[in-house]
Amino acid sequence: MTNKIKVLIVDDTVIYRKILKDVVSEIDNTEVIGTAPNGEIALRKIESEMPDLVLLDVEMPVKDGLETLVELKAKYPDIGAIMVSGVNERQASITMEALQKGAIDFVPKPIGKNINANIEALRNSLTPIISLFQTKKIITSVRRGQAIVSSPPLTEVKAPIAPIIRKTPEAVKTLSFVSAPNPKRADILVIGVSTGGPNALAKLIPDIPADLNVPILIVQHMPPTFTKSLANHLNSKSNIPVYEAEDGQQIEKNKVYIAPGGKHMIATRKEGQAVIAITDTEPVNSCKPSVDVLYESIPTVYNANVMSVMMTGMGSDGMNGVKYLKRTGCYSITQSEDSCVVYGMPRAVDEAGLADETVHLDKLASRVYQLVKNGIK
């Protein structure tokens, strides 16, 4: 068996099929086996060609991306799907639903006027997702005892960690690390999450009871528009209100605030009240919003009484933030490797020795509630 990924591209626009085909063909160990202009034709090609991965446009005639995805996962659950979405609110909302129905991830269609820049943006978005899918396919094949041609040994198969490109605050850069004692209580819960996050948050947030009695601030790596749709989806099924955060918004107990895509979110004080500030500074760790940016703002407002949860995601954004929080006092939880879509961000925290405990996603809500209500011991 070869480890080359067979990809089917589905989009109702000829030019986008061509662009996606060119981009995917340039990714190592991929092979575009065909294209389709709508979901109905795509499903026929899937039956005959059996691709490993399908790129699905969200809005198409005859049978759209969501309908196609539902049928695809029902018939062929092992075939992966990546949604290729426009960036208006309707398409973002459909994309959030698609993620909950089994899509691996999504990439937004760039809307810039420079075609070369748009192609480069698609390449940068698709390459790590397809590489991750390929890695998981290799691991699954090895575990099933199938032969792999020219595949890396299992010990080398890891989810890719993005290079760290950040301006580290002087406090992090110059001081030797000394961890403060764990706090006795948590006055705020901060969460960092990326790839696999929408589904993980859809499990975590609705399971948290309404009387948690602390605010929750979340950085989910996502572009603009999609974070609002994520907040709306979570809000519709949760015991506590979920918002896309706004500049100047007061931070209140029993409410969830998600950093808006394309901006950073920090906590600050205004007239004695804890409030959110939304900033438009440079990306950190190539991320905007960045977990580190949020985390490094927290001690000035909440001192040592902080709980951090680092969840599924590529890269290491948030590791320096946890380290920063640990200097004043922070109880650090990471999502367990076996329950992560990508064990990247939690792994960075674990391997830095910054995690106080690791918890499976299914038990995360109850564990957080227990620690907040009963105190940290």
Task: Tell me which residues are annotated as active site.
Answer: 194, 221, 317
Q: What is the 3-state secondary structure (H, E, C) of 208-275?
A: CCCCCCCCEEEEECCCCCHHHHHHHHHHCCCCCCEEECCCCCECCCCCEEECCCCCEEEEEEECCEEE
| Residue partners of 14: CB distance under 8 A and separation at least 6 | 37
Distance CA(56)–CA(30), nearest Å, equals 17
Burial of 155 (0-12, 13-18, 19+ CB in 10 A): exposed
Structure tokens that stand for 79 in this block: 């075939």
Q: How many C-beta atoms lie closer than 10 Å to residue 253's C-beta?
A: 13
> Which residues fall within 8 angstroms of residue 276, CB to CB, at 6 or more apart?
217, 245, 246, 247, 248, 249, 250, 251, 257, 265, 266, 267, 268
Supply 304's token pair: 């040592």
Cα(10)–Cα(141) distance, integer angstroms? 26
Spatial separation of the C-alpha atoms in residues 105 and 83, rounded to whole Å = 6
Quote the distance between the C-alpha of residue 245 and its chain's center: 17
Tokens of 35: 């294209």
| Separation between Cα atoms, residue 185 and residue 374, nearest integer Å | 8
Q: Do 303 and 278 form a contact (C-beta atoms < 8 A)? A: no
**AA letter at 131:** S
Q: How far is CA 78 from CA 11, 137, 316, in A?
A: 21, 10, 28
Q: Angle at CA 166, nearest 5°, toward 160 and 170?
A: 135
